[in-house]
Structure 1
């Protein structure tokens, strides 16, 4: 009988702190700007960004001395190669002293700190809007200048941000990286997925006025709103970890108490989290609730469906 390792299947209850970027940034773009966490992720993976056509020749000639043995990317200095390797190793040596979040680059940590300080040192000289990060300020300025420095090499269309160019490239490659976790349908753009998710919600749903995500009840909406404010009022007295709500704190406490309240009626194995328990039950029932809409193949786990969907997009698994 196949067994499921609890450690590998653990569904972690995370208190994600989502901080919206300034509302007035890049209103003219087809895609919405990234939230703070996405901006930092982009900074940490900037070596993987799409290179614009006019700069590609210069950059390729410069990045020729130091080569990554894992993916083949080349860099002009040993220091840049070392920073890039953090992507493969997962090492994040720069930790925020206030919330514990870790980053691969010192610059990403510095940008993150503006969340805690509320400092907005970058002011637009034309309209007076203020920004916490220089990247946000630079993108905003293009609203006034009309500059679109990122050009698609396949069709010549230009964009104000790298992210919008990246999304646009999906129209050429056919890649649909945003997948609905309820029905498995995938989309090219995040905003399209958000719009689709409303299909699964009731007509009388509760909507967040900051990001327009909807929820089936007011309690879930209230818990979600905390992700915008960053509030974590529930603290673990044993380790000091703070949680956004009492439910998450209760789940966290099982780590200290060793409690495993979910027991399989067929084999007696116990689990700390209900998600692990439900996944384990499928070993006995053979249930495959995640179905590909393109070929009708079904999977026991959502991660397996996501991996399978890449075969339809043409992306190497």
Structure 2
């Protein structure tokens, strides 16, 4: 059994399990994301006191109240309004300040690709699906056989409101696969904007890995979104949010620092010394990277079961 965070769609890609219904669901989700991202950006201009062009003020107000999907499609007038608003300098400035808001780094990719995504024959790409935003709620399970071995993947929500729903269920898991979004080091928590997302991820990892239910459970930490992380490091100093870091914009230095922080909190004194914490850096929108992640997980589980590392 595997206990893991928000990676089920990546396993589906590896096994080519996506069917027509899956693509329809994700097409709607991605189009919803387009509208939602635009609304959050509009609200962000107000929060950051960045004025829209005068001719867009009424349009923005109307968009917030009325914009929505209609039978899985974005109406033509809404598409035109998104284009007009996204071309407003205020929204671009706000997007560049997205760490102050609840806007994912991939929002700009969807907005730039508006025509493609809203086309009647639109079929989501692998990258589209892996970039869209679907918060995990509750506990979901995916069971399958691979090369004669049964797998049970348990997908859970990491949000604060979701944790009480799953933490007590998993006292017999083989491996915890914990996913860390590296690029969130400058972003705020949705539930509490006074808390840094990467700090919250670190604290949740510490809480989880040192929980009595998992004291004998081995762990694989996947440091995800390395591509976005590398690009962001060139613009936003990691030390602004983690003062102990002194490695500048160097990608390897930053990765080593964050990895060390997670290993440190996961090796609490007095805990089972036979337990192992293994780390791996990955880019989830790269399908080859996803395959490599699965191979690493499979290899590590076999090693753990055989008492090897």
Q: Answer with 1 or 2: which has the greater Rg.
A: 1
Higher RCO structure, 1 or 2 (CA under 8 Å, sep 6+): 2
Select the structure that is richer in helix. Answer: 2
Please report the TM-score for the alignment, with normalisation by the length of structure 2: 0.23
Please report the TM-score for the alignment, with normalisation by the length of structure 1: 0.23
